[in-house]
Amino acid sequence: MKFTDGFWMRRPGVTAHYGQEAYDVWADGPTLTAYAPTKRIAGRGDTLNLPMLTVTLSSPLEGVVRVRIDHHQGAVPATGFALPGAVEGSGTADADEAGGTLTSGPLTARVTKGGPWRLDFEVDGVRVTGSGHKSIGYIELGKESTVTAEPAGLVGYSPDGMAPARTYVHEQLDLDVAETIYGLGERFGAFVKNGQSVDMWNADGGTSSEQAYKNIPFYLSSKGYGVFVNHPQHVSFEVGTETVERVQFSTAGESLEYFVIAGPTPADVVRRYTELTGRPPRVPAWSFGLWLTTSFTTEYDEATVTSFVDGMAERDIPLSVFHYDCFWMREFNWTDGVWDERVFPDPDLMLKRMHEDKGLHVSAWINPYIAQRGRMFREGVEGGYLVKRPDGSVWQWDQWQAGMGLVDFTNPQAKAWFQGFVRTLVRQGVDAIKTDFGERIPTDVVWHDGTDPMTMHNLYTQLYNEAVHEVLVQEKGAGEAVLFARSATAGGQTMPVHWGGDNSSSFVSMAESLRGGLSLLSSGFGYWSHDIGGFEGTPDAAVFKRWLAFGLMSSHSRLHGSSSYRVPWAFDDEAVDVTRIFTKLKLSLMPYLYRTSAQTAQTGLPMMRPMFMAFPGDPATQHLDRQYMLGDDLLVAPVFTENGDVTLYLPEGTWTSLLTGAKVEGGRWLKENHGFESLPLYVREGAVIPRGTRTDRPDYDFLSDVELHVYPGGAAERTVLLESTTGETDTVRVTVGDGVATAVSTSGRAYTAKLV
């Protein structure tokens, strides 16, 4: 949100109080405190009748500095995000006549005493950003204010569009020449956020709008630092738009808390951020296979489902998961947890057949909105489990489901009640849960635990997904729990997998889906999926086939649509071939992908990595949003054209096409043309890619059914770590010499190593 009118003026009705100087700086153990009056103090009289901002610095983790800006500290404290990795007192504070420093690992925050206000952040002694004159501000809005803080998709704000609060706190951090900003959640517009105004407000807006299902108040800089704003409520970011030389972030109230996170590389920042807010856990190998769904509003019953599953088998397309979307329940009843007996007369037997006869895992759709006609609504009202209005009535509306209410997950009894429904579903034979929605959360309500409704709007999805994920972990075990979630906030990466939401069936939407995924994966999330072929409408055969290659070279791969089926034979015979080719290709890469997922769980690095994150020293990668690295060694460039033309950039080194074996020198742009059965898929110089010898399923023995493909370049000796689905590992040393590759493992197993 913007408070100024150009560089010199403020908008009507805006009174701004900026911290003008560090008048006093105090070190107290691991804490540094600076007092910033909102005018320069020349004499004792200047200390009267003015606001002062208290800036407190501490460190919750090595390499991370917390900055808290307070106006009135007696205000009701704002709710922050859970920080499971916090180790308070990780920094060392010092103060002298010149000012003060707080040092934590490679990161130093330096406050200069006197004016103008100056707070610098240095990584390994090099300044990466800072807060300067008119950066920290306390803003008051009068009745005549023209400032609006109404994010798109907001429910419960005043109808006149006025800002709902009268006071705000903001910070501005410097942007350097050629510095680019990424992240802030899954956003489908321009990948680089410079020049954008971004509101943290979860909304159900589809992929072709500025709204986002997953708003994460964390951004990542190409200079190798990150910033995390610790407020679940609405936070507004102005990335070079309020002041073009700075990133501004603001929130309503009397305080603002943010963290600066050190690199020195973007990958290092992600490691620290996910250590603080939670790492993505392991997910089972079967989840990486191909998922097929009923689609949304299509007609289907058990016979339809069986025909889809059998049709895939008949066409030699390995299927791993079948998903039942909304209409497994009766219309007007979502969510009530009751299978529609008209189309699924014996769900227990059907699920047993899917597991035992078809060899599949099963996913089912749910949401936290409880339709008035369903049995769970009556239970929810009687138990007091649904969100209420201030007058004590149940909050209801008719959008989505007639008379629907909303589960109040701040009520422990309501959470247990909802979990009971999920537990029944899992014990019935459902392996994964699609937790849809969670964005349309009203603010004109009262929550059981008294949480501020503005805070709960974004935070709701965390409580919703936690409730379901807990059941899956309890019933399936750690490493076996799989959500398929649409909405998220900071910390949501601890409950994978997330998918991109409602896209359209076009090349343009395919590209915007990838931008959204790369943006989310720059925000601490480790896994990501999207609806292959697009959700809205029906793709033509070319879009579907190009999207298949992209989708099956993503961490998770799902065929899903709205009003039309996504079985490949509904398009053309070639679509069947393309589905088979890329499904089997992905399954052959499972030893590599499974080990990459272990790296994601250990470090927080995403499986699909934006190019700027993988190659931080190469300025040509800063704006790339149509290609990515899949793990350390595979470069994927989806084709977004029907005729197969594609432009991509290869960083320095010798790259080898995984599909053809062709060698290409990098450090340059390439223009290629690919048929539907191909795409640019390059292996990095010196890589050893473990390839499976099986292509029928994703969860085979990665220590036995494997051979090592050794690519040119790199050291004569290389090491690769293999891991089985049982957790057993094996370290293999690969030696290359005289045109031969040999492999020796610590376990004594014999492995075939092939030079490519």
Residues serving a catalytic function are 436, 439, 502
d(CA 313, CA 572): 17
Closest CA to 213 of 514, 523, 501, 505: 501
Residues 6+ positions from 654 with CB-CB distance below 8 Å: 663, 664, 665, 666, 685, 712, 713
d(CA 634, CA 656): 10
Closest CA to 700 of 589, 601, 582: 589
Residues 6+ positions from 583 with CB-CB distance below 8 Å: 289, 290, 317, 318, 552, 557
Q: What is the DSSP letter of 537?
A: S
d(CA 729, CA 706): 13
Structure tokens at 634: 């595979």
d(CA 190, CA 210): 10
Q: Is 600 exposed, middle or buried (0-12, 13-18, 19+ CB in 10 A)?
A: buried
Phi-psi region of 647 (alpha: psi -120 to 50; beta: other; left: phi over 0): beta
d(CA 608, CA 596): 10
Overall residue count recorded for the chain in this entry: 756
CA angle 322, 323, 328 (to 5 degrees): 125
d(CA 692, CA 696): 10
d(CA 591, CA 701): 9
Contact between 578 and 677 under an 8 Å Cβ cutoff? The reply is yes
Contact between 609 and 636 under an 8 Å Cβ cutoff? The reply is no
Fill in the amino acid letter for 302: E
